[in-house]
Amino acid sequence: MSENVRLTREKEIAVVTIDNPPVNALGPGIPEAIQAAIESAAADADVRAIVVMGAGRTFIAGADIREFGKIVRGEKPGRTLLPFLAAIEACAKPVVMAIHGQAFGGGLETAMAGHYRVIAAGAQVGQPEVKLGIIPGASGTQRLPRLAGFAKAVEMCAFGEPIGAGEALAAGIVDRIVEGDLLAGAIAFAREIAGKEAPRTSRRESKLRDHDPAIFAAARAQAQKTKRGQAAPLAAIEAVENATRLSFEEGCAREAQLFRECLYSTQCKALIHAFFAERAVSKIPGIAADTPVREIRRAAVIGAGTMGGGTTLNYANAGIPVIVKETSQEALDRGLAIIRKNYAGSVKKGRLAQAAMDERMARITPQLSYAGFEDADIIAEAVFEGMALKKQVFAEIDAIAKPTCILASNTSYLDIDEIASATGRPEMVLGNHFFSPANVMRLLEIVRGKATSAEAIATCMALARKLKKVGVLAGNCRGFIGNRMLGPYLREAQFLVEEGASVAAVNQALYDFGMAMGPLAMSDLAGLDVGWRIRKEFRHLERPGVRQPLVADLLCEMGRFGQKTGRGWSQYDENRASSPDPETEALIEKTARAAGIERRDIDAAEIVDRCVLALINEGAKLLDEGIALRASDIDVVYLNGYAFPAWRGGPMFHADTLGLDRVLARLAEFEQRHGAEFWSPAPLLKRLAEGGKTFSSFDQEAAAAAGG
């Protein structure tokens, strides 16, 4: 048949097996080969029904995403899957799709073109295209409402979350769940239906009758809220809604049009970049894919504060027994109460079963001593951010931990090598920097010290996956990748208010850019005392005569730590709703005038450029210094740790979108107006811009040089 599609026989049932690793994507030639196999089986007089399934880990993960960029760049012609799907549906013999792993995107569209679907108990189906900035482009928005009704179809196409086998059965998307051997179950099912008239999804009408307009209005409202700034979810809703008034063929034609509009958008390019960036992070030059990885069976966490508690939750959620240690019973009780409250909240919202909460709580051992630490495979330190304390803790755990135990610090700024110097095993010491709230944010920065072993890094990368995080390797410097870049970003936000922008205007401009919240709102949420403590730690490094933000320290001295004290950059009511704080605004103005800072009107475009270009310029310096391995790693950090808008692809991809020559020109303007100290362009950025290159081309060249 074809290298990637096999046709075999189980007596009167033909079996078509798609074998296109890693995920059976519908790359070039695959749909054609599937169609040829089905047609050949149909032409065989001895065949009564046909089963289609995937080899390996999944059914079909969708269209081949790598092809989209080539189509948009004009390197390949665009193609439609509609004739392929129509041919499956038109098959004279019943076609049973047997789903395991995932039937996603074009995979689910293929499954729905079959006459029946059976599914393995643990499998998922979904139309995740919106996560890539597109919509289902091969009849998904028309077939899904016909099988599952409008409410389910809108939910799946506009928000992209997959559903499990049970939900798919209840919705009418699949016909049977197979427990045990899927192929055997699919063949048994095929024997049952052989000879019966095969239902065609495109001709089903019953579920189309119930089209309450409220479904679409509610979905649009939800998309404006949870997918703010994104075009694809709204296009997906429109495409599904078309099925209320257009024929199947007309609906598909309009869907194809909307699909194309999305495909050629910058948002799609950015989201596809984000997809591959997330998968590139684990490829680390110099660390072979087969580097031995230690299994983390037991963990211990030191500190039950915000980060320690979140880290403890991460381990317990991943099924890893975890000890959490504090220095006083009161702190321990407080930490445990927050953990319990967190789980109870999930139970109340129906996201977690009570039994699962009990199981997770049972994995957590709270205590005041180091008892049991000798059995831990990883010890995660999450004590206050101070070098002296960290070194003391590391010396203590070094004395107790087994030789193979990884010693991880959750420090967000401090020198990993200096921390490691307190131990006799610097090769086992690294940073595991979670982002607050640690049980929610997906980012885990894995910070490599100069002695950290490949094995410790590989183990933490694997651990990140187990904890359902994205692990990104960072070099050792003050703030690593994320927080080092955050420094200039927050600095500019503060300079802008000193120069005359209001706190609300700065927050609003960045919110409108797509950030989950503005920079000063974020500082208020994190707690202004956190930065205050860090500034004190590093005060000796401040250079005399260099401009420093003036107001944050004053707010802290007044006990205004942000949301937790009700006042900070803004003021907060008991429901944490913010409003401008006239006293803070007056303090900013008075302080700025006293320092001789000229006050002026500043528009939103300048606010965004000052903050975002500061971020980008620092990112370029990190790349040049080798702190970040790839520009795309920086994007992954900002998308998963700082809620940078995914549809902009991350700060470095955004810079490429703006054009590095334009970025460079704007940096030069700022340099002239605000001085070279903060605005001299990173040498790498300058080199790339002057060479007509991009951060993406920099990554590609680096990968090629590393042989990847």
94/251 with CB nearer ligand 3H9: 251
15/263 with CB nearer ligand 3H9: 263
Q: Please give the C-alpha separations between residue 598 and each of 134, 438, 509, 580, 602, in angstroms, as whole numbers.
A: 46, 40, 21, 22, 12
CB 24 within 8 A of CB 56: yes
CA–CA distance, 678 with 168 (Å, rounded to integer): 55
89/129 with CB nearer ligand 3H9: 129
CB 581 within 8 A of CB 571: yes
78/580 with CB nearer ligand 3H9: 78
Q: Please give the C-alpha separations between residue 529 and each of 411, 532, 534, 555, 560, in angstroms, as whole numbers.
A: 16, 5, 9, 9, 8
Q: Which residue is nearest to ligand 3H9 (CB)?
A: 105
* Minimum distance from residue 129 beta carbon to ligand 3H9 (Å): 5
- Say whether 241 is catalytic: no
- Sorted by sequence, the CB contacts under 8 Å of residue 358 that are 6+ apart come out as none
- CB neighbour class for 448 (10 Å; exposed up to 12, middle 13-18, buried from 19): buried
Locus of tokens 């607050």? 436
62/308 with CB nearer ligand 3H9: 62
* Minimum distance from residue 14 beta carbon to ligand 3H9 (Å): 25
Question: φ, ψ for residue 123 (rounded to 5)?
Answer: -80, 165
* Minimum distance from residue 273 beta carbon to ligand 3H9 (Å): 12
* Minimum distance from residue 101 beta carbon to ligand 3H9 (Å): 7
106/645 with CB nearer ligand 3H9: 106
41/108 with CB nearer ligand 3H9: 108
Query: Three-class SS of residue 416?
Result: helix
* Minimum distance from residue 274 beta carbon to ligand 3H9 (Å): 12
CB 651 within 8 A of CB 500: no
Q: Which residues pair with 7 in a beta bridge?
A: 16
132/528 with CB nearer ligand 3H9: 132
* Minimum distance from residue 82 beta carbon to ligand 3H9 (Å): 8
279/402 with CB nearer ligand 3H9: 279
CA–CA distance, 322 with 97 (Å, rounded to integer): 43
- Say whether 109 is catalytic: yes
CB 476 within 8 A of CB 450: yes
CB 366 within 8 A of CB 338: no
- Sorted by sequence, the CB contacts under 8 Å of residue 601 that are 6+ apart come out as 500
Query: 509: how many CB neighbours lie within 10 A of its CB?
Result: 26
* Minimum distance from residue 244 beta carbon to ligand 3H9 (Å): 21
Structure tokens at 380: 């995660």
Write down the catalytic residue from 3, 10, 32, 109: 109
Q: Please state the separation of Cα 207 from the chain's center in Å.
A: 34
CA–CA distance, 674 with 661 (Å, rounded to integer): 20
CB 287 within 8 A of CB 457: yes
* Chain contacts with ligand 3H9 (rule: CB under 6 A): 22-23, 25, 58, 61-66, 81, 102, 104-106, 109, 128-129, 132, 136-138, 140, 279
> Identity (one letter) of the amino acid at 635?
D
Write down the catalytic residue from 39, 75, 89, 129: 129
CA–CA distance, 88 with 26 (Å, rounded to integer): 15
* Minimum distance from residue 84 beta carbon to ligand 3H9 (Å): 10
Question: φ, ψ for residue 423 (rounded to 5)?
Answer: -120, 170
* Minimum distance from residue 71 beta carbon to ligand 3H9 (Å): 10
Q: Please state the separation of Cα 23 from the chain's center in Å.
A: 20
Nearest to 31 by CA among 88, 76, 71, 75: 88
CA–CA distance, 126 with 171 (Å, rounded to integer): 12
Catalytic center residues: 109, 129
